[in-house]
Amino acid sequence: MNNKSTSSNSQTDWERLDTMTDEEIDFSDCPEITPEMFAKAVVRRGLANSQTKTPVTLSIDSDVLEWFKSQGQGYQTQINHLLRSYMEAQQ
């Protein structure tokens, strides 16, 4: 088995990519994320806790909360992961 690294064989022009502006990036093959797509997102469980959590009181529509609870144990963590994903997508 060959353990030689293939990372040095990259044909990507990293220098050109580093100098590109947002306007030069072609997003034509990337659809905009819709609320429906976000709602169907898959949350990966078992990820390392990246920060200290702060308990809060939050009003959520009853049907939304019941749906998350119906997903089983870890529904609060799942809500947190979805909120983090949304936050990171908006930054």
Structure token digits, residue 34: 């819709």
Q: Write the pLDDT tens digit of every residue in 30-45.
A: 888 888 887 777 766 6
CA 86/CA 65 separation, integer angstroms: 18
| 3-state SS, residue 75 | helix
What is the Rg, in whole angstroms, of the alpha carbon atoms belonging to the chain?
Answer: 20
Mean pLDDT of 47-71: 86
DSSP summary character for residue 8: G
Instruction: Say whether pLDDT at 3 is over 70.
Output: no
> 70 or 10, which is more confident?
70
CA distance 87 to 72: 24
